[in-house]
Amino acid sequence: MGGRVFLAFCIWLTLLGAETQDSRGCARWCPQNSSCVNATACRCNPGFSSFSEIITTPTETCDDINECASPSEVSCGKFADCRNLEGSYHCMCSPGYELASGAKTFKNDSENTCQDVDECSSGQHQCDNSTVCFNTLGSYSCRCRPGWKPKHGIPNNQKDTVCEEMTFPTWTPPPGVHSQSLSRFFDKVQDLRRDYEPGLAESSIRSILQALDELLEAPGDLETLPRLQQHCVASHLLDGLEDVLRGLSKNLSEGLLNFSYPAGTELSLEVQEQVDRNVTLRQNLAVMQLNWNLAQKSGDPGPSVVGLVSIPGMDKLLAEAPLVLEPEKQVVLHETHQGLLQDGSPILLSDVISAFLSNNNTQNLSSPVTFTFSHHEEDPVLTIITYVGLSVSLLCLLLAALTFLLCKAIQNTSTSLHLQLSLCLFLAHLLFLVAIDQTRHKVLCSIIAGALHYLYLAAFTWMLLEALHLFLTARNLMVVNYSSINRCMKKLMFPVGYGVPAVILAISAASRPHLYGTPSRCWLQPEKGFIWGFLGPVCAIFSVNLVLFLVTLWILKNRLSSLNSEVSTLRNTRMLAFKATAQLFILGCTWCLGILQVGPAAQVMAYIFTIINSLQGVFIFLVYCLLSQQVREQYGKWSKGIRKLKTESEMYTLSSSTKADTSKPSTVRSRIAPEHFTNRPT
C-alpha cells in the first residue's frame, strides 16, 4: 500500500514539472512583475523587489519599489516633487511652478527647469473683485483693494480673503460743548463722510485738515468757552483727527505725502507695505524716528501708515492747560527744574505735534520711538542788534536821500540810482521794524509780507542797476561825457527798477497767495519752494553783480597800468576802483554770509550777518556821501550857511535887545539912581 502512494506522488511531481516549464526551459510559475532565470528560478523586474534576489518558490512575490521614499537616491531638484509609479517614478514641478519646456514630467535633477507660474497674469487665481491678486513664489495671495478691509476675523493676504468696503471713520462733536464754530466744522466733516468713496481718501484728508486749520485760525466762540471746556475740545480734536487720518490713510497709494496750510497746520505721512527698515518723518520743528515693524497692526499684513501732524493753532485752546505726568516722572521733573516750577503754570513752547501709526496699541512696543523737538526761541542779542542796526541805518538812509536830493553838485545818473536804492531800503527797513510781527490779522500780515517782498526785490534790482552803471562808467573812462550811457540808463532804470519786482510779485501772488505770511512772521512761507520767489532773484542778481565787479576791476587794473602821470585821471580811476570794491560789499555780497550759518561756526556767522546787513544804510551813507569830496564841500557850504544864519540871528536878537533898552531910559534910571545914592558915602 505504501509503495503505491509513493509512486503516485512521484508521478504528480513529474506532471507538475512538465506543466511549469515552457519551451525555453523557464519556470511558468514566476510571480507577477518578475522574469524567468531558468527552469527553477525567477528574478523581479526593475522597479520591484522580493524577499530574496532569486525567487525559487511560487509563494514569493515582487512588490513595487517606492523610489521617492526616504532615504532615496532620486533627486528631482528645487521646486519639484518625486511621484512614485508602478515599477517606476517621475519628477513633477511643485504646484505653482512649471517646466520651461512646457512638459509635465522629467526624470532627474539635470532636467529640472521648474520656474514660478504667475497666476495673477495667467488668470489662474480665484481673487474676486474686492481683492487684488499678488503673485508670490510658487503661489499667489488675494489682498483687499484700497478702500476695502478684511471682514472681521478673516485674515488678509490669503487665497480665500473676504473683504468689505471701508467707510469714513466716525467723528462727532464732543458732548456738552455748545459752539457755533465747532458745529460748522463738524458739519463739514459729516458732509465729507456722507459723500465719501475710497478713491477720495486724499482729497478728504486735505479737506479735513483745511477745515481744522481754518477753525484754529479763527476759533470764534471757542475762545469764550471756559478753560476746562477748551482743553476738552482740544483733546477731542486731537484724538478724532488721529483716528480719521489713520483710517483714511489706508486707502492711499504707497509713498510719502506732505500737506501744509496757511495757519501752520502741516501733515507728513508715509504708506508702505511691511518692510524691515527705519523710517524718519520730519514736520516743522519735530522729528520722529522708528522701525517700520512697529507700525504694523497685528493680524493685518497689508499696507501700514506712519504719520506726524503739526497743529500750532491748537495752542489757543491749550492755554493754562495743566501738566499731567506719571508720579515718578513728576518727581524727576521737580527735582531737575525745581526753580522753574515753583511759581506759575507751564507754558507751551513748541507747536502741538500728534503722531499716529496703523498699530494703535502702542503701550508695549518692541523698540523705541524717538522724538526730537525744537523751539521757536530767538537769540535776544541778535534781536537787539537787528533793531539797533536798522534804526541807525534808517537815519543814515534818510540823510543820504536828503543829500542826493538837495546836493546839486553831485546830481547825475549815479546819484539817481543811489537815491532810489536808499528809498527802497528805507521803506523796507521801516516796514520790517514796525510790522514784521503783526501776525494776528492774516490778511494784513499777507499784505505786509507782499510789501516786504516787493521792496526788498526792488532794492536788489537797484543794486543790479548800480553795478551795471559802474561797469559802463569804467568801460568808458576815455569818454568825458558819455551821454549815450546816461540817456540809456535814464530810460531803463525806472521801468526795470520798479517793474521787474512788480512782475515777480504778481506771479507769486497769483500762483500761491495763501503762502504770504507765516504764523510767526509776516514773510514768505518756505513750503513748496515758495521762498525761492525771493531767493531766486536775489541769487541771480548777486551772481551778475559779482561778474560785473570782477570785469570792472579787470578794466580798472588795465587802466591804472596804462595811465600817465595825470593826477586827476589817476585819482578818478582809483576812486572808481574803490567804489567798485565798496559797492560789491554794499550790493549784496554780505547776504552770502547767511549761507554759511551751518556747523560749529553757525552762531558766529549769524552775528556777523546780522551786524553787517543791519548796517547797510550806514555803509551807503559813508561811501556815497561822507567819502565824496563834492558832498563834503557841499556839507561845508551848508555848515557855513547855517553858522552865518545863526550869527545873523544872534546879531538881530542883540540889536533888538539894544533898541529895546534905549527906548526905556527913565525906567533904567529909576532903577539905578536909588542904588547909586544909597551907596554914596556921607
CATH classification (class only), 384-635 = mainly alpha
**Can you state the angle between helices 483-511 and 413-435, rounded to 10 degrees?**
30
Question: Which residues lie closer than 8 Å to 82 by C-beta, 6 or more apart?
Answer: 67, 68, 72, 74, 76, 89, 90, 91
Separation CA 338–CA 328 (nearest Å) = 15
Tell me if 131-165 shares its fold with 180-323+347-373.
no
Least confident of 127-141, 416-430, 464-478: 464-478
Check whether the bond before 322 is cis (ω within 30° of 0): no
For the cut 90, the answer to whether the pLDDT of residue 458 exceeds it is yes
- Tell me which of 122-126, 259-263, 578-582 is least confident: 578-582
pLDDT in tens, 45-59: 988 988 888 888 888
pLDDT score, position 673 = 37
Which residues lie closer than 8 Å to 80 by C-beta, 6 or more apart?
91, 92, 93, 94, 97, 106, 112, 114
Question: How far is it, in rounded angstroms, from Cα 78 to Cα 162?
Answer: 33
**Average pLDDT, integer, range 587-604:** 62
Class of domain 22-65: mainly beta
What are the residue ranges of helices labelled H in 292-412?
327-336, 380-406
Mean pLDDT of the chain: 78
User: In the CATH hierarchy, which fold is given to the domain comprising 131-165?
Assistant: Laminin (2.10.25)
Lowest mean pLDDT among 3-7, 24-28, 34-38: 3-7
pLDDT band at 453 (very low <50, low <70, confident <90, very high): very high
- The residues, any chain, with a CB within 8 Å of residue 570's CB and separated by 6 or more, are 560, 563
Percent of the chain surpassing pLDDT 70: 75
Identify the residue with better confidence: 490 or 510.
510
The answer, yes or no, to whether residue 87 has pLDDT greater than 60, is: yes
pLDDT at 342 over 60: no
Q: Can you tell me the distance from the alpha carbon of 92 to that of 285, in angstroms, rounded to the nearest whole number?
A: 61
Task: Name the most confidently modeled range: 337-351, 537-551, 602-616.
Answer: 537-551
More confident residue, 330 or 524: 524
Which residue matches cell numbers 552762531? 603
The 10s digit of each residue's pLDDT in 209-233 is: 999 999 988 888 998 899 889 989 9
Say which range, 530-539, 647-656, 663-672, has the weakest mean pLDDT. Answer: 663-672
- Residues in the chain, total: 682
Candidates 549, 515, 559, 562; CA nearest to 534 is 515
Q: Does domain 180-323+347-373 have CATH number 2.30.29.30?
A: no
Give the global pTM.
Answer: 0.48
Residue type, 31: P
The better pLDDT of the pair 576, 428 is held by 428
The predicted pLDDT at position 301 comes to: 56
d(CA 644, CA 15): 170
Q: Output the pLDDT for position 346.
A: 61
Whose grid coordinates read 483687499? 144
- The per-residue pLDDT for range 387-435, each reduced to its tens digit, is 898 899 999 999 999 998 888 878 888 888 889 999 999 999 999 999 9
Instruction: Quickly state the pLDDT bin for 620 (edges 50, 70, 90).
Output: confident
- Asked whether 92 and 104 are in contact (CB, 8 A), the reply is yes
Domain residue spans in the chain?
22-65, 131-165, 180-323+347-373, 384-635
Strand segments, DSSP code E, in 536-588 are none
- Report the range of poorest mean pLDDT among 15-19, 23-27, 158-162, 392-396: 15-19
The pLDDT of residue 322 is 73
pLDDT at 505 over 80: yes
152 pLDDT above the threshold of 60? no
Q: What is the pLDDT of residue 611?
A: 81
Q: Report the pLDDT averaged over residues 523-529.
A: 77
Mean pLDDT of all residues in 364-382: 79
Predicted confidence at residue 297, as pLDDT, reads: 67
pLDDT higher than 50, residue 623: yes
Confidence at residue 569, expressed as pLDDT on a 0 to 100 scale: 52
